[in-house]
Chains A and B, each alone.
Chain A
Amino acid sequence: MSQTLTSNKVQAGTTEARWIRYSLIGTALVFMFLFLVLPLAAVFTEALRKGLDAYLEALKEPDAWSAIRLTLITAAVAVPLNLVFGVAAAWAIAKYEFKGKSLLTTLVDLPFSVSPVVAGLIYVLMFGAQGWFGPWLQAHDIKIVFAVPGIILATVFVTFPFIARELIPLMQAQGSDEEQAAIVLGATGWQTFWRVTLPNIKWGLLYGVILCNARAMGEFGAVSVVSGHIRGQTNTMPLHVEILYNEYQSVAAFAVASLLALLALVTLAIKSVIEWRHAQEIKASADMSPERPPHQMAST
């Protein structure tokens, strides 16, 4: 970042010749353009190919609306659940030593490495008609799989580690000196958490929440297995995109997709702002107390 350009002669030893530099930058930019910028641009141009009216028409469709609503509901349930879990898991793992801690950390990460399709399948095996609880659920007329609860469960599974994973390294790096001081001074556990821990982890928490939210709204594979694809009822936005696309309604598919792409862009923007704010705070706290190790925000 901070390349102090003192003189070209000193620099020559630790950087490359100008033509190498420019060709490396050029190659990287061309690669990024082809693989990231073009697909993003394609979403919006395809969506607007038949004009703004056709675009808005596609979004006004009732099935599109119910897909949007279901996506919002799913995220509104899944994200808070994983938020509570993430904070509890990070507190337990970062503040205490206990047997089996590294195994627990590995298990928390497990949903990341499970294929989304497998994630959907396991809930079908649990709650489907032939599954463990299938007969009981049918007898009581409760639908989980091929209904909204299944979609939420599958989404909770795939977004399970997001927040815990941001918080664990952050809280480990911060140690628990401040919390101990608060307890010694007579604060209760909850007071300590709200007044001491939460202000310290707020950026990491927010970071985890927006990543978790982006994945929850965009999940396709796992949700596809448990949804049953009932139009207007169990279609989330990504599933609706798939159906429209397979019906050759390209403009409508890309119109709904463009909303998801906007969500991605907003997520990236918030993420950059958080990282910037976090860096500012590190700089400020590093100026004040040099002994505290600044924490590097790790992305997944």
Chain B
Amino acid sequence: MSALSIAAPAPRRAPAKVLPGFNLTLGFTLFYLCLIVLIPLSALVFKTFTLTWDQFWAAVTGPRVMASYRLTFGASLIAALVNVVFGLLVAWVLVRYDFFGKKVVDALVDLPFALPTAVAGISLTALLAGNGWIGQYLEPLGIDLAFNPNGVVIALIFIGLPFVVRTVQPVLEDTEKELEEAATCLGATRWQTFSRVIFPSIAPALLTGFAMAFARAIGEYGSVIFIAGNMPMVSEITPLIIIGKLEQYDYAGATAVALVMLVFSFVLLLVINALQTWQRRRSGVSS
């Protein structure tokens, strides 16, 4: 048990290129990357250049678009925060305790990765609509979870859960019991040990998981549109704005909004990368 650690492997010094295939594999990688990802994405940027600045600004700051940003970012933020709390709880329970059916629960965590988003969307809607399994009990209480922003948050919680669990779980498995024993010997209560010893060591992973769940939620489409109700200004997410503009043949407008989303997701990707490097360095030092 003691030798098991996922500390990033020490970067091995590059061998003088003994292995063949460098040109072939790197060449193919770059070719395929350009063909599938970079050239199509650049089409987005160039299409935006056909707009004047004023047109661009008008397209990305229209009242309906602004309302969609507020919903998308707000709901994603709430969902990611909920995922941090429950994701940590699930990871903790899976790593630290033994209970019946633990293996099944562990496997089930990945369900949102494997279940197509459209399926998740219609099934959450069926559960939460006024006549659904859960909805029928909530409706008399005046709680409405479908066809409004609440539904968006719920769909995004579903989508984001595995990101937090799967980033925190391995780090939690690696935390050293010796540190906790030492803390206890020095008179710390269990809560002090958790908040001062365990939590700091898993905080980078938790933050990474949060950022990943948030990034995924921002772009999510399939699971949300069924449950959101899609009312303009109220429950219309930004990806749906893009689709709406496309359906009206407003290609330039759709592209402008898409560019805003693309820039934001690229920034988030860089943040996540930086967080992961930080996390790796942290766990490298501690173990």
Please judge, given known A-B contacts A125-B255, A293-B9, whether A113 and B29 are in contact too, CB under 8 Å.
no
Instruction: Name B133-157 residues within 8 Å CB distance of A.
Output: 133-134, 157
A203 CA / B97 CA spacing, docked (Å): 28
Instruction: Name B210-247 residues within 8 Å CB distance of A.
Output: 215, 218-222, 226, 239-240, 242-243, 246
The contact string, 1 if C-beta is below 8 Å from chain B, for chain A 274-297, is 000000000000100010011010
Contacts of A63 in B (CB 8 A): none
Contacts of B207 in A (CB 8 A): none
The 8 Å CB contact of A117, one of B39, B105, B180, B242, is B242
Contacts of B25 in A (CB 8 A): 88-89, 91-92
CB distance A118 to B115 under 8 Å?
A: no
CB distance A121 to B246 under 8 Å?
A: yes
The 8 Å CB contact of A42, one of B133, B265, B270, is B133
A151 CA / B180 CA spacing, docked (Å): 53
Q: How far is the CB of A199 from chain B (nearest CB, A)?
A: 17
Contacts of A260 in B (CB 8 A): 115-116, 118-119
Please judge, given known A-B contacts A32-B108, A121-B242, whether A238 and B118 are in contact too, CB under 8 Å.
yes
Contacts of A37 in B (CB 8 A): 108
Give chain A's interface secondary structure class.
helix
State whether the Cβ of A70 lies closer than 8 Å to any Cβ in chain B.
no
Closest Cβ neighbor of B28 among chain A residues: A88
Contacts of A263 in B (CB 8 A): 114, 116
Please judge, given known A-B contacts A109-B269, A241-B122, whether A39 and B166 are in contact too, CB under 8 Å.
no
State whether the Cβ of B285 lies closer than 8 Å to any Cβ in chain A.
no
Total number of A residues with any Cβ neighbor in B under 8 Å: 115
Is the interface on chain B under 10, 10 to 19, 20 to 34, or 35 or more residues? 35 or more
Contacts of B37 in A (CB 8 A): 107, 110-111, 157, 160
State whether the Cβ of B86 lies closer than 8 Å to any Cβ in chain A.
yes
A135 CA / B107 CA spacing, docked (Å): 49
The contact string, 1 if C-beta is below 8 Å from chain B, for chain A 164-191, is 0000000011011001100110001100
Please judge, given known A-B contacts A35-B158, A118-B44, A153-B36, whether A261 and B255 are in contact too, CB under 8 Å.
no
A107 CA / B90 CA spacing, docked (Å): 31
The contact string, 1 if C-beta is below 8 Å from chain A, for chain B 98-140, is 1100010111111111111111101110110000111000000
Looking at B107, B119, B226, which has the most chain A CB atoms within 10 Å of its CB? B119
The contact string, 1 if C-beta is below 8 Å from chain B, for chain A 250-272, is 10011001001101110111011
A73 CA / B3 CA spacing, docked (Å): 45
Q: How far is the CB of A119 from chain B (nearest CB, A)?
A: 8
CB distance B15 to A3 under 8 Å?
A: no
Contacts of A172 in B (CB 8 A): 9
CB distance B89 to A27 under 8 Å?
A: yes
The contact string, 1 if C-beta is below 8 Å from chain A, for chain B 19-33, is 111101110111011
CB distance B113 to A214 under 8 Å?
A: yes
The 8 Å CB contact of B185, one of A13, A98, A293, is A13
State whether the Cβ of A7 lies closer than 8 Å to any Cβ in chain B.
no
Please judge, given known A-B contacts A39-B124, A130-B251, whether A125 and B44 are in contact too, CB under 8 Å.
yes
Closest Cβ neighbor of A220 among chain B residues: B222
Contacts of A96 in B (CB 8 A): 14, 17, 19, 22, 26
A220 CA / B6 CA spacing, docked (Å): 34
CB distance B15 to A180 under 8 Å?
A: yes
Closest Cβ neighbor of B154 among chain A residues: A35
State whether the Cβ of A298 lies closer than 8 Å to any Cβ in chain B.
yes
Contacts of A88 in B (CB 8 A): 24-25, 28-29, 32
Contacts of A98 in B (CB 8 A): 22, 26
The 8 Å CB contact of A36, one of B3, B108, B272, is B108
Instruction: Name B258-287 residues within 8 Å CB distance of A.
Output: 258, 261-262, 265-266, 268-270, 272-273
CB distance B119 to A238 under 8 Å?
A: yes
Q: How far is the CB of B122 from chain A (nearest CB, A)?
A: 5
CB distance A217 to B243 under 8 Å?
A: no
CB distance A110 to B133 under 8 Å?
A: no
Please judge, given known A-B contacts A85-B32, A118-B219, A125-B44, whether A238 and B116 are in contact too, CB under 8 Å.
yes
A176 CA / B16 CA spacing, docked (Å): 12
A116 CA / B217 CA spacing, docked (Å): 11
Q: Can you list 22 pairs linking A and B with CB atoms under 8 Å apart?
A: A14-B180, A21-B97, A24-B97, A25-B97, A28-B86, A40-B123, A84-B28, A106-B270, A106-B273, A110-B37, A113-B269, A115-B262, A116-B221, A117-B242, A172-B9, A176-B12, A220-B117, A221-B220, A238-B118, A268-B111, A294-B4, A299-B166
| A-B contacts besides A40-B115, A131-B43, 12 pairs, CB < 8 Å | A28-B93, A93-B29, A107-B33, A156-B36, A176-B15, A193-B21, A221-B222, A221-B239, A257-B122, A260-B116, A264-B116, A300-B163
Which A-B residue pairs are the 9 nearest by beta carbons? A218-B116, A115-B219, A97-B14, A13-B184, A220-B222, A221-B221, A189-B20, A264-B114, A117-B239
